[in-house]
Amino acid sequence: MKRRRTTPSNPKPRRGGGAGGGGRGGFGDDFRAFQDALREFMVSEGVAATIRDSGKPHGLLVTTGGWRTGDRANQNEGIASLFMAHEDYALLYRSVQAKQTTVVELEVTNKFIPGPITVYNTVGELRGSEKPDEFVVLGAHLDSWDLATGTTDNGTGSCVVLEAARTLALLAKQGVKPKRTIRFCLFTGEEQGLYGSKRYVEKHADEMARNVRRDGPRHRHRQGARLRHPRPGRTR
């Protein structure tokens, strides 16, 4: 058990829930440098844990995490990062604002399962009738956070891919076959660092130049693959 004084920041609920995480990038070098400096400062000050407002109603908690690089199980941050239900966090905030002595007692039990753990992508395809060596890929990630809204992230995307596969396969049986090969992918490990899609690209590296994507408002055909997230208004 460790006790620390706490000074919560303004506990106004955030739109869309808590902070994102997951070691997948999306932040610049300046931000990462600041995070490293902040982490070193907290270690030097003997911080036991950081507590953040979950920012959701009805006692719901944020399910997320973050680490710098590599596999999460290999990290040794030394400082626990915790989310607290908004109502409880707001109570701490009001106590501090009233200049009351505030003590937080933490009991955290976590564990990591020894790895690596083998997980799988699920991939199916319809062979093209005229250009079978050119590919159109429809993909979504099958995994979700254990306590998250898996229906929307990403059950909806997975359902779209499965329904597209079912419909196009039925049309193919009726003689309406695609000119190019269509590959349907349900990727694993997206929430842990895009592992499934990265491994797919590595395994099919020799095919990347023959993947067809559709860009721009007029949907011009283009060859090749990009590994960046699509920008608004553009589909691939």
CA distances from 84 to 93, 111, 115, 171 (A): 12, 19, 29, 51
- Catalytic residue, chosen from 130, 190, 191, 207, is 190
CA torsion, ordered 92, 95, 97, 101, to nearest 10 deg = -110
User: Pairing mode, if any, of strands 180-187 and 131-141?
Assistant: parallel
Whether 190 is catalytic: yes
* Three-class secondary structure assignment of 105-121: ECCCCCCCCCCCCCCCC
End-to-end CA distance of the chain: 51
Instruction: Please state, as a whole number, how many other Cβ atoms lie within 10 Å of the Cβ of residue 153.
Output: 15
Note whether 112 and 77 are within 8 A (CB): no
Note whether 56 and 62 are within 8 A (CB): yes
Which residue type does 146 have?
A: D
Instruction: Please state, as a whole number, how many other Cβ atoms lie within 10 Å of the Cβ of residue 180.
Output: 20
Alpha-carbon gap, residue 136 to 168, rounded angstroms: 13
> 3-class SS at 149?
coil
Residues designated as active site: 190
